[in-house]
Amino acid sequence: MALLPILRYPDPRLRQACHPVEVFDARLATLADDLAATMRAAPGIGITAAHVGILERLTVIELDGPGSLKVYVNPEIDWFSPEVQRHTEGSVSMPGVTDEIERPARIRLTYQDLSGTTRTEEADGLLSICLQHEIDQLDGIFWIDRLSRLKRERIVKKYDKARG
């Protein structure tokens, strides 16, 4: 497994929508492994191929430590619950800053696994938050875009100051 360089905000590639994965092969499996290693080293609990400059619809999430890694290829949210929840979010591409985001409490999504098999899954709690956050990134929506303009400006100032 290789550690991949993570793009840092405000890299314009973080605002580009990713292309669907069409080839399910050893290269894709290696990329998923490399993303997992990169995410753990960051550290983080989720990362997309977009975070490392590869504009493909691939994300990995690991909420419960080693052995709990989940890989989602071409994920799309089919349903959002009307109930919402608030959770503190951040990004491996903007380390050191976080803020609270409101998102639907539950979702249903369709995705493919590394072999190309289509699957459907429902998620709530932290997994729901992470999936929405990472799928936003795959769609070219950076997490701070979910904040008010004032909060977004404060986060960017705080991040710029922390970077020196």
Domain boundaries 12-163, CATH class: alpha beta
| pTM of this structure | 0.96
CB 1 within 8 A of CB 37: yes
For residue 134, indicate whether it is catalytic.
yes
DSSP character at residue 76:
E
Provide the pLDDT for residue 51. 98
Provide the pLDDT for residue 128. 98
Catalytic residue among 56, 62, 89, 134: 134
- The Cα 76–Cα 87 span in angstroms is 21
Q: Quick: pLDDT tens for 141-160.
A: 999 999 999 999 999 999 99
CB 59 within 8 A of CB 76: no
| Residue 164 clears pLDDT 80, i.e. is over it | no
| Residue 35 clears pLDDT 90, i.e. is over it | yes
Instruction: Please identify which residue in the block is written with the tokens 């399910």.
Output: 24
Provide the pLDDT for residue 66. 84
